[in-house]
Every structure is written in C-alpha cells, then in structure tokens.
Amino acid sequence: MIERYTLPEIGRIWSEEHKFRIWLEIEILACEAQAQLGRIPAAAVQEIRKKARFDVKRIQQIEGQTHHDVIAFLTNVAEYVGEASRYIHYGMTSSDVLDTALAVQMKQAGELIQQKLEQLIGVVKQQARAHRHTLMVGRTHGVHAEPITLGLKLAVWYAELQRHYQRLEAAIQRIAVGKISGAVGTYDHLEPFVETYVCRKLGLQPAPISTQILQRDRHAEYVAVLAQMGATLEKMAVEIRHLQRTEVLEVEEPFRRGQKGSSAMPHKRNPILSERITGLARLLRGNLVAALENVALWHERDISHSSVERVILPDTTIAVYYMLEKMGQIIRDMVVHPDQMKSNLEKSRGLIFSQAILLHLIDKGLTREEAYRLVQRNALRVWEKKTDFLSEIKKDPEITAHLSAEDIDRICSWQKRLKHMDIIFERLGIG
C-alpha cells in the first residue's frame, strides 16, 4: 500500500525488518525444540540465540544471486552465527517459515484492525444515542418514505459493525495457525513436537494437517471478512455523500480549518474522506477475488499464490485500518443540520403519512384495495398539483366519511410515528 494510506502502526507489521525478525524467531524456536528432543546440542542453541542477526540490505543482495528469499535469509544469518548455523532450518522447508510467519503477521494486523473497529463501534454508538430523536425523513429508492431519526440510521450501522467484529474475531482465530511439518507436510525429517513448540511460543495453534503450505481457504476467509467490512464502510460513506449533497445537506463531513474543497471554486466543501473510503472498498473486493483464486494450487503446493499475497495481504489490512480510522473521524466530528432535516421532511407536503391513513381506513372497515385507491388518488394529486396531502384528504368525501379532520391531524403526528424508538435502542444495548 502506498504511504498515503499507510498508518505507521500497521505498516510496521508488514515491513521487511519485522518479517525477518519473525523468521529468525521461528528458526531459533525450532532449534530449541530440536535440542529438547536431543537432535542438536543445547550449547549450539545458546550460541545461535546469542549470535543470530540479519541485515535487510545484505539479504536483498544475496537474493539477487540466489533468487530465493529464505535461502538468502539463512545465508545472511549464518554469516553472523558461524559453525552452529548448520543446525538452523534443520529438517524444515521454506514454507514452514513463510507460512508460520505470515500467520503471525496476519494475526497481529487483525488484532490492530479489531482495536480500530472497536473504537469506531464506540463512536457510532455514542452518536446514535445523541441523535436518537433527531427527526429526519427515511428514503427508499432515494424517494421520501416515512420519518425516521438520524439515531436509527446510526444504530443500523452500529449493529452491522458489531457483526463484523464477531466475524473478524473468528477469522483471526482461523488464521492464527502455523506449520512446521516439512516438505509436503509429512514430518518425515521433523518431529511434530517441533511444530507444537514453535506455534505455542508464537501464540499460534499448530495446523491439524498441512501439505507443504497452510491451505489458502484460511487466507481467503480472512480477506473476505475484511472486504465485507469494507463494504459496510462504503455503505456508510455513500450515505454520508448523499446526505451532504447541496439539495439534501442534512449531514456533512467535518471540514477542517485551512482545508480547501476545490482549486477552482472556493465555496466547495466536498465529502472527500467518504469518497476515499468508497474507492478503497473497491480495492478490497478486487483483492478478495485474488485471495479466492489462491485456494486452488497444484498438488501439495506451488507458488502462484506467493506473489499475490505479497500484495493483497499487506494492502488489504492497511487499507481497512486506514478506512476505519477515517470513518471514525467522520462520525465523531460530523456536522448535523436538524433544521434542514425538518425542512426536507416538509418537502413531501405530508405524503409521508400515506401509510398511516391507509391503515386507519382499513381499521374503519375498508378493504385494503379500496383504502389504497383512495389514498393513492389523493397522493397523485399532491405530486401533480404540488398541493398539501392533509388538505387533499380532508376534502375527499370518501375518506372523511370514515375519518374526521381531527382524526387525520392526530394520525399525521410526527412524534407518534417514533414511539418504539426506545425499544429498538434497548434491543441493541445502546440504552
């Protein structure tokens, strides 16, 4: 991921320095396990632990000749360790190091994302509570439907983000698996104890079974969860973009002091963060396709997945982390315009009460078809002549035969429509 979208704490997880540090720890832990089994001298392990080092530039220099990153790494480490280096990587294959280290990195990145997601959930919850009774119009197909509150809209996001937290927790658990089982996963030159020992020290579970690699359904699930999360963040971003349109202007992204909206038009206040989140969500979906393609490899292993993962795993985790950070800023500091919400509610000239009138006519004994015909007839007149819905139905003798003017005024009350809002919030634990 380019630096523009890379926050330092998650960028460090995918640095070459951090990756090689994990590789080195895996190799040393494997030596410790071998020593406990009596396969290598304990003194050699002590010497390896004391002397083992690496230099990123030197590894890259060696890899330029060997065209093999693990061999280049081992060669560089051996330059520091000396004679005892012959015990390093004993009985292991490259993927024992690569896949186990990758699991550590994915677990670490996932836990950082989990923390950032938890922060966003808290911000959304706080704003949902604050705007529980901030009245606005609900829209379906982009058209005015019935009254809702801004708090309800935020509460929907809150519940969805909680589901993502649960999915991510499961995905981290599923990816936190290592393998030290040798060339095709048969432990021919290793004891399973080595795998168990290394994984336990790294905070991983040993894979119940593997080939030369961990199976890539695990990685695809992990990317799928992050892509799903990105889709929700995009949904939130698209909603904010719509609500910030000049014709709507109910909610705006924060606009910072000194910020500029357009190089040509000084008046512009554009939803640039929401649009950025929308764009990055597209990358996540593309990365998911690549992750799914990686599941089907030849026989016990090929490396067609390797080049893909070097891009999509860092990029996906870094992008999601950035998106969560930016969405948190948007929700925490968003500008809400309740007066504009009220003005927009009134633009449909009372049509949002059509269902309430429909249901009360049914209660009075009309069939649904007959009640619908009467209400729609008046609603169409409002659309066409730009009149007022309540005035029209009060003039319709077929309606007033069943509902008085007082009944109509009582039915078409704003607050009466939101009487169950507290129940919804209590169900979500927003309280």
Q: Tens digit of pLDDT for each residue in 309-351?
A: 999 999 999 999 999 999 999 999 999 999 999 999 888 888 8
One domain, residues 82 and 138: no
pLDDT tops 70 at residue 265: no
How far, in Å, CA of 361 to CA of 401, rounded? 10
Q: Are residues 242 and 116 in the same domain?
A: yes
Scanning the structure block, which residue is given the tokens 């699991």?
103
For residues 288 and 158, membership in a common domain is answered with yes
Report the pLDDT averaged over residues 193-212: 97
**Calpha distance 348→142 (Å, rounded):** 13
Residues 230, 328, single domain; the answer is yes
Task: Tell me whether residue 95 is one of the annotated catalytic residues.
Answer: no
Confidence band for 412, pLDDT divided at 50, 70 and 90: confident
Question: What is the DSSP pairing of strand 135-140 with strand 143-149?
Answer: antiparallel
Residues 79 and 110 in one domain: no
Q: Which of 203-207, 382-386, 402-406 has the highest mean pLDDT?
A: 203-207
What CATH code is carried by the domain that includes residue 44?
1.10.275.10
pLDDT in the model for residue 18: 98
Domain check: are 133 and 272 in the same one? yes
CA distance 339 to 323: 30
The strand pairing partners of 143, in sequence order, are 140
- The answer to whether position 16 is within a domain reads yes
77, 51: one domain: yes
List the beta bridge partners of residue 108. none
Tell whether 260 is covered by a domain.
no
Q: Are 360 and 372 in contact (CB under 8 A)?
A: no
CA–CA distance, 388 with 36 (Å, rounded to integer): 86
Task: Please name the amino acid found at residue 154.
Answer: L
Claim to verify: residue 99 and residue 62 sit in the same structural domain: no
Catalytic residue among 68, 189, 262, 404: 262
Last residue of a domain, one of 316, 346, 376: 346
Active-site residue, from 67, 141, 267, 299 = 141
Is residue 72 a part of any domain in this protein? yes
Domain end position, chosen among 346, 377, 394: 346
Is position 282 within any domain? Answer: yes
CB 103 within 8 A of CB 131: no
Residue 217 makes CB contacts below 8 A (sequence gap 6+) with: 295
Q: Is residue 172 domain-shared with residue 72, that is, in the same domain?
A: no
Alpha helices, DSSP H, located in 184-303:
192-202, 217-243, 272-293
Dump pLDDT digits (tens) for 76-130. 999 999 999 999 999 999 999 999 999 999 999 999 999 999 999 999 999 999 9
Contact 110, 168 (CB under 8 A): yes
Is residue 262 annotated as part of the catalytic site, yes or no? yes
Could you tell me the pLDDT band of residue 2, with boundaries at 50, 70 and 90?
confident
Alpha carbons 74 and 63: distance in angstroms, whole number: 11
Is 419 domain-assigned?
no
Residues 284 and 387 in one domain: no
34 lies in which domain range?
Answer: 1-90
Q: What percent of the chain has pLDDT over 70?
A: 96
Is 217 found in the same domain as 177? yes
CB 285 within 8 A of CB 246: no
Among candidate residues 309, 327, 346, the one where a domain is terminated: 346
126: in domain: yes
Query: Which residues share a beta bridge with 206?
Result: 178
Least confident of 27-41, 138-152, 252-266: 252-266
- Is the residue at 289 inside a domain? yes
Mean pLDDT, residues 213-239: 98
